[in-house]
Amino acid sequence: MKSAFFITGTDTNVGKTWTTIALMRCLQMQGLSAVGMKPVAAGCEWHDGILKNSDALLMQQYASVPLEYRQINPYAFEAAISPHLACGGVDVSVDVVSDGFTRLQQRADVVLVEGAGGWYSPMSGVLDNAGLAQALRLPVILVVGVRLGCINHARLTISAISQSDLLCAGWIAVQIDQAMPGFDGNLAYLREFIDAPLLGILPFSAAGDFELLAAKLSLPNWQKVDVNQKK
């Protein structure tokens, strides 16, 4: 059985991409093939005549199988602003993303689809992350950037995922503020009030040591998780 998950965050810049790569490496260490997909990305730069996103390039680098860039990131926009503004009126088609996702499923055991921003952040004028996850019918992994305000953001996001009738397959804590006071206390509170498995605690990292980060994750047998499973 193929597995796939939608990776969302409590906000932007909470470590979704590094967490996605760490998940890919952890799965690969378990003997599974894993690829990442970033359907919509803003803040892209020109490389070889096409716009490319640095996060999507990392996914391409760490994919278990060789993939063309557009297979990972079908919608790339140049302006480093919210995608619904950066797209300039371009229609982000759920059908295009879904078709690309289905093709990736044929290439790997596990596909990780990374959203843009938080759960309700817009990807275009009419589509947000929640809508895309619902359209793909994917269980969700929540990345919680542990910083001031994260408890409220995490509980609100978990509630929103539940209201979307999707399964939260787990959450991952990321220490994005190295000097945050009360980190352990905040983490303990989150563990008590998030009704989903804690899959790992990723320490602060100034550079992407994905082998180290992967070692901090503890994953179930995701080959047995139905991609159409709901809560």
Rounded Cα distance between 174 and 144, Å, is 6
Beta strand ranges found along 77-158 (DSSP E): 110-118, 140-145
pLDDT at res. 225 = 47
Q: Name the pTM for this structure.
A: 0.93
220 annotated among ligand-binding-site residues = no
| Residue 52 annotated in active site | no
With CA atoms as reference, report the closest residue to 201 among 193, 148, 191: 191
174 annotated among ligand-binding-site residues = yes
Segment 124-169, tens digit of pLDDT? 988 999 999 999 999 999 999 999 899 999 999 999 999 999 999 9
Structural domains in the chain plus CATH codes: 3-224 (3.40.50.300)
175 annotated among ligand-binding-site residues = yes
**Contact assessment for residue 112 and residue 139, using Cβ atoms and an 8 Å cutoff:** no
Segment 16-45, tens digit of pLDDT? 999 999 999 999 999 999 999 999 999 999
74 annotated among ligand-binding-site residues = no
pLDDT at res. 222 = 55
- 6, β-bridge pairs: 113, 140
Which of the following is catalytic: 2, 38, 52, 231?
38
pLDDT at res. 205 = 86
Reply yes or no on whether the pLDDT at 224 is more than 50.
no
Beta strand ranges found along the chain (DSSP E): 3-9, 34-37, 40-41, 45-47, 50-52, 75-76, 110-118, 140-145, 168-174, 198-202
